[in-house]
Amino acid sequence: MPRSSCFQQVCACVCLLLSMSASASVVVDTTRLIYPALEREISLRLSNSGPQPALVQAWIDDGSVDAKPDEVDVPFVVMPPIARINPDKGQSLRIAYTPIAGLPKDRESVFWLNVLDVPPLPSGQASNHMQMAFRTRLKLFFRPADLPGSAVESAEKLRWSLARSAAGAVLQVRNEGAFHVSFSSVEVELKGGSRFKAQSHMLAPKSSADFAFEQPLIPAGAEGRVIYEWINDHGSTVRGETRLQF
């Protein structure tokens, strides 16, 4: 028998033996969390839209995506850390802040809430079954009291400029505000209609960053504007634009 035919038969047998569950059933009702410093706690609603019970584990990290729940050191407590959610039922997670020294008081800090959804094994399929867990990570913004300005003002008052580097043109942006700005898209539109997409990411308060272009073909001395979309506290996309400073 040809080797390729044997290989195909082996693959077919493996596919028959392994049953893979590849759908998450736990739904989170938001895309980000805001924690005002004066609040005793905030809550997050989870719901199970699947036909079977789900086991959920929740924890918060400081941006270390590979850190295990027992390895993180953050000023928050999630209650309950582990919960069973029955089909078509919900569960509220409560998040409490435990004050510590070291967090800045003149700007936001960002953490990440992890929600791990572990579906149960189907009955009668304890063997030859590939179990998949799904993790959702949400940004958790800790917002000190009496911050100057607002999240909207931070996004609207960004300072943009174009610079040259060894790798080509880069779009420089400066956030003078006290709030994070998360982008969904950033583009430069030149006079005449040509558009160049930049590789954007979240911008921390009182910081600057360089966004590289996917196609760095902007001519020197060009005129244009920046068109950007940022995400507000409610998870909605807001459009902004400003004249580009060359």
pLDDT of residue 40: 95
Say whether domain 151-243 belongs to CATH 2.60.40.10.
yes
CB 50 within 8 A of CB 23: yes
CATH match for 25-143 among 2.40.30.10, 1.20.1250.20, 3.40.190.10, 2.60.40.10:
2.60.40.10
Pull the structure tokens for residue 234.
């409610």
DSSP 70: G
pLDDT of residue 185: 96
This model's pTM is above 0.95: no
Provide CB contacts within 8 A for 115, sequence distance 6+: 26, 28, 46, 56, 57, 58, 93, 135, 136, 137, 138
What is the band of 11 on the pLDDT scale with cuts at 50, 70, 90? very low
pLDDT of residue 222: 65
CB 65 within 8 A of CB 173: no
Angle at 7 between CA 5 and CA 13, to 5 degrees: 105
140 pLDDT above the threshold of 70: yes
DSSP 167: T
CATH 2.60.40.10 residue spans of the chain: 25-143, 151-243
Pull the structure tokens for residue 77.
């407590």
What is the band of 194 on the pLDDT scale with cuts at 50, 70, 90? confident
